[in-house]
Structure 1
Amino acid sequence: MTAPNENADVSGLSFEQARDELVRVVHDLEQGAPTLEQSLALWERGEALAARCEEWLVGAKRRLDAARASAETGPGTGS
């Protein structure tokens, strides 16, 4: 079971690590935790993991957008 204070440690996870753990958390929630407190802890962990995945995806989109913009304004565009 995941302790609530472990939610802060997601910042060091790679996208793949956060995604894989999120899949496990969702599975555990679907199976049903023995207590409400454990269900809430799983939910909170899942929220933290989902936010971490979103951070990675937003960062990846920014990098792609920057690469596209650079390619459009790069050498050979008549500048």
Structure 2
Amino acid sequence: MRVVGEIPHPACKITIFSWNNRYLIKIENGMLEQTFKINQFDVTGESEVIQMVDEAFVQEALNRFDDMSKSLHQAVSRT
């Protein structure tokens, strides 16, 4: 797995990887992470993948992190 680059953001860590004919967009927030896989043949290159990670994309991921955190806390409270 090769690190293509990191995208700085104050609320999360965003890393772009190239692996197995795919680009991976990995977004981390605390103990949670989301990974998006993109076939390398569906984009023109690394720069297009980086452009995809705009503020709207990141905001949706951050909202999803809130939902993920709630789900985890509810699961823990049931045990």
TM-score above 0.5: no
**TM class by smaller structure:** 0.3 to 0.5
User: Which one has a larger percent strand, Structure 1 or Structure 2?
Assistant: 2
When the two structures are superposed, what TM-score results if normalisation uses the length of structure 2? Answer: 0.38
The structure whose Rg is larger is 1
Q: Which has the higher contact order (CA 8 A, sep 6+)?
A: 1
When the two structures are superposed, what TM-score results if normalisation uses the length of structure 1? Answer: 0.38
User: Which one has a larger percent helix, Structure 1 or Structure 2?
Assistant: 1
